[in-house]
C-alpha cells in the first residue's frame, strides 16, 4: 500500500481544519447578523407596543373623564328649574283665536292686531342623546375596565419584547420566562368591550405560543413564534379599531352636550379661555361691557367653539387609530421579511408610529388644555 508523504498528510489536515474554520466563522457571522437584526426588530417592537399602551390608556382615561362629567351632570340636573336658553330663544306666540267664534264680534274698543304673550319659562332640559342613568353608567364603567385590560396587555407585550431584546444580546434565562408568563396572564385577563362582538378569542392561542417559544433555542424559530403572536395582536386591533373610534365619538358627544348646558347656566367660566384666541395674532380683546346681551353672545360663540374643538378632537382620534393600525401592519410585514432572509428597513414602521404619537399628543393636549402653554 502506497503511503502519502508526511507533508501531504499535514496539508490535507490543514485544508480540512481551514474548511471547518470557514464553516464555523460563517455560522457565527450568520448568527451575529441574525442577533443584530433581532435586536433591531425587538427595539421597534418595544416602541410599537409602548405606543399601543399609550393609545389604550388615553382611551381609558378619556372614557373615565366622560363618565365623571356625566355623573356630575345627572346630580346637577335633578332639580328642574326654569332657565333661559340664550342660543335658542323661543319664538313669540300668537294670541289664540279660541274666543273668536262665529257670531261673536270683537268689540271695537279692542285691537284686532295679534297679541304677543310672554313665552312660558322652559324647564332646564337634560342633555339629549345617551341615557345617563344606571345602565349607561355601568356600561361606561365596563368600557373603562375593558380598555385598561388592553393597556395592560400592551404594557406586558412591551416588557416581553424588551426582555427579548436583551436575550438577543445575552441570555437572561428566568427573566424571559417571567415576562412571557406575565404577557400570557395579561392576554388571559382581557375583558370584552360592551356593545361590540368580542374578538378576544383571536388571542386565545397566544399564551400557548409563548410556552412553545420557551422550547426553541434557535433565534429564528423563536421569532417565528413571536411573529405569530404579534400577527394575532394586529388582527385583534384591526377588528376593534372601529369600536375605538366610536367610543371616543360617544364620549365627545356626551361631553359636548354637558359643556353646552354648563355654559348656558353660567356654571363654568368661558371668558378666560376665550380671551386667548386672538393672542397668536398679537391682539387682545377690547373691553367688553358686562351686560346680559354681551354675555349671551359670548356663550353662543363659545358653544360653537366647543363644537369645532370636538370635530378637531375626532379628526385627531381617527388619525391616531389609523396610523397605529398602519404601524402594526407594517411591523408584522417586516418580521415576515426578516424571517424570509430579506433585507429589512424599519423606516416605514417608525414613520407610522411617529404620526400616531403626534396625534395622540394632540389628543392629550386638548384634554389637558396644555396647547395654549406650549
Share of the chain above pLDDT 70, in %: 67
Residue 175: all three cell numbers together: 427573566
pLDDT surpassing 50 at residue 35: yes
Shortest CA distance to 193 belongs to which of 229, 153, 240? 240
* pLDDT greater than 60 at residue 19: no
- 57-61-64-66 Cα dihedral, nearest 10 degrees: -130
pLDDT in tens, 181-223: 888 889 989 999 998 899 999 887 776 676 666 666 566 677 7
| CB 51, CB 93: distance < 8 Å | no
- Is the pLDDT confidence value at 249 over 70? yes
State residue 285 phi and psi, 5-degree precision. -65, 145
Phi-psi region of 192 (alpha: psi -120 to 50; beta: other; left: phi over 0): beta
Please name which of 311, 312, 326 lies closest in space to residue 357, comparing C-alpha atoms.
326
Q: How many CA atoms lie within 13 A of 369 on its CB side?
A: 5
Distance (Å, whole) CA 69 – CA 75: 10
Count CB neighbours of 358 within 10 A: 14
Confidence of residue 90 (pLDDT cuts 50, 70, 90): low
**Per-residue model confidence (pLDDT) at position 111:** 39
Residue located via cell numbers 328649574: 81
Distance (Å, rounded) from C-alpha 77 to C-alpha 4?
106
For residue 154, the model assigns a pLDDT of 95
Gap between the Cα atoms of 105 and 36, Å rounded = 102
Residues in contact with 148: Cβ distance below 8 Å, sequence separation at least 6, in sequence order = 56, 57, 60
* Least-confidence region, from 70-84, 304-318, 323-337: 70-84
d(CA 45, CA 97): 76
Confidence of residue 165 (pLDDT cuts 50, 70, 90): confident
Cα gap 146→252, rounded to integer Å: 19
Predicted confidence at residue 124, as pLDDT, reads 46
d(CA 205, CA 231): 12
Its sign, for the CA torsion 79, 84, 89, 95, is positive
Average pLDDT, the chain: 75
HEC string of the chain?
Answer: CCCCCHHHHHHHHHHHHHHHHHHHHHHHHHHHHHHHHHHHHHHHHHHHHHHHHHHHHHHHHHHHHHHHHHHHHHHHCCCCCECCCCCCCCCCEECCCCCCCCCCCCCCCCCCCCCEECCCCCECCCCCCCCCCHHHHHHHHHHHHHHHHHHHHHHHHHHHHHHHHHHHHCCCCHHHHHHHHHHHHHHHCCCCCCCCCCCHHHHCCHHHHHHHHHHCCCHHHHHHHHHHHHHHHHHHHHHHHHHHHHHHHHHHHHHHHHHHHHHHCCCCCCHHHHCCCCHHHCCCCCCCCCCHHHHHHHHHHHHHHHHHHHHHHHHHHHHHHHHHHHHHHHHHHHHHHHHCCCCCCCHHHHHHHHHHHHHHHHHHHHHHCCHHHC
pLDDT in the model for residue 14: 41
pLDDT tens-digit readout, 287-311: 664 566 677 777 888 888 888 888 9
Tracing cell 500500500 back to the chain, one arrives at 1
Tens-place pLDDT, residues 93-110: 554 444 444 444 434 443
Amino acid at each position: 500500500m502506497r503511503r502519502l508523504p508526511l507533508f501531504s498528510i499535514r496539508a490535507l489536515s490543514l485544508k480540512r481544519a481551514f474548511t471547518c474554520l470557514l464553516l464555523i466563522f460563517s455560522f457565527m457571522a450568520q448568527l451575529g447578523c441574525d442577533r443584530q437584526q433581532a435586536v433591531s426588530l425587538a427595539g421597534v417592537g418595544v416602541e410599537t407596543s409602548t405606543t399601543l399602551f399609550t393609545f389604550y390608556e388615553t382611551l381609558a382615561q378619556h372614557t373615565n373623564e366622560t363618565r365623571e362629567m356625566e355623573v356630575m351632570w345627572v346630580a346637577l340636573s335633578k332639580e328642574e328649574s326654569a332657565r333661559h336658553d340664550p342660543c335658542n330663544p323661543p319664538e313669540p306666540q300668537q294670541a289664540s283665536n279660541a274666543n273668536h267664534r262665529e257670531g261673536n264680534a270683537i268689540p271695537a274698543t279692542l285691537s284686532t292686531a295679534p297679541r304677543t304673550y310672554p313665552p312660558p319659562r322652559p324647564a332646564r332640559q337634560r342633555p339629549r342623546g345617551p341615557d345617563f342613568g344606571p345602565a349607561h353608567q355601568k356600561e361606561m364603567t365596563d368600557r373603562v375596565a375593558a380598555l385598561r385590560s388592553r393597556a395592560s396587555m400592551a404594557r406586558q407585550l412591551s416588557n416581553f419584547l424588551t426582555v427579548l431584546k436583551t436575550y438577543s444580546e445575552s441570555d437572561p434565562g428566568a427573566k424571559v420566562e417571567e415576562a412571557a408568563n406575565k404577557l400570557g396572564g395579561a392576554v388571559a385577563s382581557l375583558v370584552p368591550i360592551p356593545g361590540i362582538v368580542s374578538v378576544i378569542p383571536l388571542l386565545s392561542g397566544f399564551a400557548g405560543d409563548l410556552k412553545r417559544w420557551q422550547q426553541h433555542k434557535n433565534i429564528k424559530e423563536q421569532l417565528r413564534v413571536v411573529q405569530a403572536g404579534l400577527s394575532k395582536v394586529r388582527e385583534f386591533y384591526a377588528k376593534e379599531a372601529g369600536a375605538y373610534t366610536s367610543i371616543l365619538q360617544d364620549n365627545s358627544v356626551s361631553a359636548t352636550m354637558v359643556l353646552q348646558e354648563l355654559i348656558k347656566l353660567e356654571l363654568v367660566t368661558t371668558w378666560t379661555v376665550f380671551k386667548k384666541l386672538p393672542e397668536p395674532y398679537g391682539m387682545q380683546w377690547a373691553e367688553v361691557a358686562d351686560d346680559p346681551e354681551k354675555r349671551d353672545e359670548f356663550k353662543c360663540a363659545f358653544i360653537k367653539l366647543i363644537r369645532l374643538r370636538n370635530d378637531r378632537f375626532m379628526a385627531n382620534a381617527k388619525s391616531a387609530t389609523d396610523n397605529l393600525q398602519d404601524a402594526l401592519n407594517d411591523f408584522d410585514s417586516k418580521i415576515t421579511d426578516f424571517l424570509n432572509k430579506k433585507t429589512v428597513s424599519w423606516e416605514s414602521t417608525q414613520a407610522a408610529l411617529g404620526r400616531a404619537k403626534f396625534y395622540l399628543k394632540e389628543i392629550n393636549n386638548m384634554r389637558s388644555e396644555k396647547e395654549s402653554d406650549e
